[in-house]
Amino acid sequence: MFEHKSGIIYGTTIIGVRHKGKSAMGGDGQVTLGQTIMKHNSRKIRKLHNDQIIAGFAGAAADAFTLFERFEEKLERYSGNLPRVVVELAKDWRTDKYLRRLEALLAIMDDKYSFVVSGTGEVIEPDDGVVAIGSGGNYALAAARSLSRFSDLDAEDIVRESLKIAAEICIYTNENIAVETL
């Protein structure tokens, strides 16, 4: 659950998995305003930089789109060097007076790296290549870690199953799932 300063709750679940040489990221489609479901089939993930990078967001949609624009500009500026781009984005996000007010989280991955980037300057690269954000992120994260260790599923199927499990637990996550793969 992502709570805006105004008290409006923004929730979603985004999960990304690098497994067996493949990368996949998925998200649910629910958009919540307070305690009301406003939309069931929103798309919160997208491929970027010639379909070599997948990014997803949790939080305020307008803020996330602003961050996607900045992220895409940096991808071009630094020729798709993902580790450099996420650090530069986090620095801007933390120091820019306008960007500091944006309330969202980004999950970003390619075929080698996985990151969570926040407005407080965190750039987190998990050890196992699994990234998760949003109100159902921890449920999806636990499911993805278990499925990647104890099943023969590929990355895309792990993402789908993890999102379904999160949707069974988190009221801000639905089963209208979109997945992108690399």
Please report, for the chain, the start and end positions of each structural domain, with discontinuous segments joined by +.
Answer: 2-176
Residue 4 has pLDDT above 50, yes or no: no
Right CATH for 2-176 from 2.60.40.10, 3.40.50.12280, 3.30.470.30, 3.60.20.10: 3.60.20.10
The residue count of the chain comes to 182
Which tens digit of pLDDT belongs to each residue from 50-97?
999 999 998 877 777 888 888 999 999 999 999 999 999 988 888 877
Phi–psi pair at 155, nearest 5 degrees: -60, -45
CA 173 vs CA 109, 133, 159: distances in Å = 21, 12, 14
Catalytic residue check, 12: yes
Contact between 22 and 180 under an 8 Å Cβ cutoff? The reply is: no
Buried b (16+ CB within 10 A) or exposed e, 68-82: bebbbebbeeeebeb
E strands along 2-44, which residues? 2-3, 9-10, 13-19, 22-27, 31-33, 36-39
DSSP classification of residue 68: H
Strands of the 53-59 sheet, one edge to the other: 45-48, 53-59, 104-109, 114-118, 123-124
Catalytic residue among 12, 13, 32, 173: 12
Distance of alpha carbon 166 from alpha carbon 147, whole angstroms: 13
Classify burial at 33, counting beta carbons within 10 Å of its beta carbon; exposed 0-12, middle 13-18, buried 19 or more: exposed
Contact between 102 and 63 under an 8 Å Cβ cutoff? The reply is: yes
Among all chains, which residue has been given the structure tokens 């023969």? 152
Give, rounded to a whole angstrom, the gap between the first and last alpha carbons of the chain: 28
Which tens digit of pLDDT belongs to each residue from 103-135?
788 999 999 999 999 877 789 999 999 999 999
Using pLDDT thresholds of 50, 70 and 90, give the confidence band for residue 158.
very high
